[in-house]
Structure 1
Amino acid sequence: MKHNELPSERYFGDLEQVFTFYGAMPTGVTISENGRIFVNFPKWGDDVKFTVGEIVKNKLVPYPDLNTNKVDYNNLDKCFISVQSVVADGSGTLWVLDTASPNFSEPIKDGAKLVSVDLATNKIKRSYVFSEDVVLPTTYLNDVRIDYRVGDAGYAYITDSSDKGPGAIIVLDLSTGKAFRRLNGDESTSSDPNFLPKVEGKILLNRNKDGSTSRITTASDGIAISPDGEVLYFCPMASRNLYFIQTKLLRDRNITEAELSAKVKYLGEKGASDGMITDAKGVVYAGDYENNSIRTIMPDGTMKTLVHDPRILWPDTLTIGRDKYLYFTANQLHRQARYNYGKDQRQKPYVLFRIKISELPAPTK
């Protein structure tokens, strides 16, 4: 029997290639209600010409313009420094989460923020700049979900995926601009100390140029909100565990951290994920970066694999369009130099994929 006739791993799922990136490595992607596609590029060492872009007529252009993507130290609330996540709310606004942490540095003072952009005018509406008791020196702002059904103007829930300090869920009142940390350093927002990820057949570790190694310790990263806004799902990146909590508990400052921790529910092992998203029926979609896959978690807790494909080299951010497709970036994060003794193993292009799920995105209002 010839080698190519031997049994081999079975791949499945009708994956479509949407766009290829030959420049900087993307993380976040989002689709507006009108089908506009936005992508972001954090400053992790690549030559990032703009940290937020839009795919227009199959070309990548800076969004909203090149000037906004240049660091202006006199107007840090009006520029993008190093963006980790972009989220369109389905109602005409693009939310831009700016870590202000190029190369995972300590966040630039007064630079870490959540910015709302009016998609009709492509102008910044408001910048929510985080105070130093919310964005700590160790904080890395990762992903955000919006719900307009609570409070005077809605709330945002943001993951702090720090690998050097406490993970947390940051809760932001969009009316007052007040934010606070919840589940700070909790087991549910922290890396699993026994977690050893295996990607492309190899154990994934921080592997430094000097030959030293250490475990991956990235905290709460993936986040998804139920269609009614009542439940928040979240997961540390350095873990295979899925957790959820009622959002009303997160918003209630009268509930102590200890009481809040006791209210977190464990949903089981779902595979190791970076990004997550929910559809209008309440199904959670989660990347499975160890297995080149996307998983689905049904409302009753049952799980299945939606797509398994060798091209899914680190599924990062997931988003759902009104066209009823699930979109996600595959950016080879694990092949970066920091995991390979200083040698960059990534092969361009990075890819934006999609797969038909025949469901709409979860509403925000």
Structure 2
Amino acid sequence: MQRREFISGSLAAICLASPVLAFAKSATRPALQRFAQSPWLTNGIAVATDGACFLNFPRFQGHFKSPALARITEKGPVAFPGNQWNRWQPGDDGVNTLVNVNACHIFGDNLLWVVDQGAAEGEKTSPGAAKLIAFDRTSGEVKKLIRFDKTSLPEGGAPNDLRIHGSFIYVTDSGLGGIIIHDLASGKTVRRLSSSPLLRKPENAVQRGFKGRVLQDAGGKKPAVHSDVIEVTADGEWLYYATPTGPLYRIRTALLRDAALSDAMLEKQLEKVADIPSIGGSAIDAAGNLYLSNVEKRSIDRLTPEGVRETLIQDNRLITPDALVIDKSGWMYIPAPQIEAIGTNNHGKDETHAPWYVYRFRLAEESPKRR
């Protein structure tokens, strides 16, 4: 990877004077620990303040046999909530089952939020199957169920990940490109920036794996994943997003929620933060440091508010590192789902292998914890 980065925006509330994004190496590297393992491909973990943990399982081609969501126990992952939600089978419409869960989160309360794209890879989504669900993480009871209509999620759309601040849920659409906002207080859902090319993978960009290998299927078709990773600052002022190829952008959340602004007007308010390597996931801390799972280096990089990107940890076990989680004690959790080795990314040959692992490492004591 070429260590050259350029920046035209800033992180948090700090404006950068220089257009050059510096790259620094961490003086010391923390130790990487194996935290959990799974017999199914997992790309997301949710960690509660009391230590309870959950895994989600996306259904890529050849990976249809998982329960979609599970709780980590001493005996391994156990289907959660363990009823009809975990009983999807190929051919089901997926309206009332978990089909293709791409993200799970716990935001400091008793709710486990999941993002279900509603269709296995390569399948068409049935009406109402794409959804957000908040489970009581103790009982498994559904506390909130949010479905998308054709206005908020047109055909071809795919809800990818979410963040919550106050009463607002922000969701990226990686199928078409766009940001979906649901107001928990009013129950209203709006779609923003769906027409903007800045929410789509740049035409000249390619998604890469380890050491820069271009991802493609047996016919040479390359993945075209659009707005994917998403973060919201601790004060709720800024929303950051990126496609897996970058660049990283940000926009003020107040502008996204302003119904008087058209998408064309909103697009002019988008700020490019940085060009980045191919990434799988992200996290943000209370000080505005962004953490990126660098697929090309199998590393976790930190992008500081001053515009410096530094490698915190690099390990060849981090095969396609994905969604990142920082817990209250300062542990960073990293699933390694091996996505670069699935058939659609590996010339048609699935070279993934069980078990799949989740790793973790301790952030430096001076690093701010999860907000």
TM-score normalised per structure 2: 0.86
Q: What do you get for the CA RMSD once the two structures are aligned?
A: 2.2
CA contact (8 A) 1:31 1:37 kept: yes
**After superposition, what is the alpha-carbon deviation per residue over 1:193-243, rounded to whole angstroms, capped at 9, x for unaligned?**
1123442346323222xxx21233110111111111111111001x23111
CA contact (8 A) 2:341 2:351 kept: yes
The residue identity in structure 2 corresponding to 1:147 is H
1:137 is the counterpart of 2:155:
yes
- What is residue 173 of structure 2 aligned with on the other side? 160
* Secondary structure class of the residue paired with 1:207: coil
Paired with 2:51 and 2:314, the residues of 1 have a C-alpha distance of 26
Paired with 2:208 and 2:280, the residues of 1 have a C-alpha distance of 14
Paired with 1:87 and 1:187, the residues of 2 have a C-alpha distance of 28
* Secondary structure class of the residue paired with 1:84: strand
CA contact (8 A) 1:13 1:309 kept: no
**Looking at both structures, which has the greater relative contact order when contacts are Cα pairs under 8 Å and sequence separation is at least 6?**
2
Equivalent of 1:316 in 322, 329, 353: 322
The alpha carbon displacement at 1:360 in A equals: 5.6
CA contact (8 A) 2:325 2:332 kept: yes
1:189 is the counterpart of 2:195:
no
Gaps of 5+ in 2: 1-27
Paired with 1:108 and 1:311, the residues of 2 have a C-alpha distance of 37
- What is residue 6 of structure 1 aligned with on the other side? none
**After superposition, what is the alpha-carbon deviation per residue over 1:105-159, rounded to whole angstroms, capped at 9, x for unaligned?**
23221111111112243311110111111122211111110112xxxxx011111
Count of paired positions: 341
- What is residue 304 of structure 1 aligned with on the other side? 310
Paired with 1:329 and 1:74, the residues of 2 have a C-alpha distance of 28
Structure 1 residues 74, 311: closer, same or farther in 2, change over 3 A?
closer
Write the mapping of 1:109-120 to structure 2, written as runs, cut at 5 A: 109-120=127-138
Identity of aligned residues (%): 26
Paired with 1:124 and 1:244, the residues of 2 have a C-alpha distance of 32
CA contact (8 A) 1:98 1:114 kept: yes
The alpha carbon displacement at 1:282 in A equals: 1.9
- What is residue 276 of structure 1 aligned with on the other side? 282
CA contact (8 A) 1:24 1:47 kept: no
Structure 1 residues 127, 77: closer, same or farther in 2, change over 3 A?
farther
CA contact (8 A) 1:142 1:158 kept: yes
- What is residue 61 of structure 1 aligned with on the other side? 78
Gaps of 5+ in 1: 1-10, 149-153
CA contact (8 A) 2:130 2:147 kept: yes
Paired with 2:298 and 2:177, the residues of 1 have a C-alpha distance of 26
Structure 1 residues 17, 160: closer, same or farther in 2, change over 3 A?
same
* Secondary structure class of the residue paired with 2:239: strand
Paired with 1:327 and 1:103, the residues of 2 have a C-alpha distance of 25
- What is residue 70 of structure 1 aligned with on the other side? 87
1:81 is the counterpart of 2:102:
no
**After superposition, what is the alpha-carbon deviation per residue over 1:161-201, rounded to whole angstroms, capped at 9, x for unaligned?**
11xxx311111111233212112142331102112344234
The alpha carbon displacement at 1:354 in A equals: 0.6
Equivalent of 1:223 in 219, 222, 230: 230
Write the mapping of 1:204-215 to structure 2, written as runs, cut at 5 A: 204-208=214-218, 212-215=219-222
**After superposition, what is the alpha-carbon deviation per residue over 1:331-360, rounded to whole angstroms, capped at 9, x for unaligned?**
110110112232111133221011111456
CA contact (8 A) 2:130 2:158 kept: no
TM-score normalised per structure 1: 0.87
* Secondary structure class of the residue paired with 2:194: coil
1:49 is the counterpart of 2:66:
yes
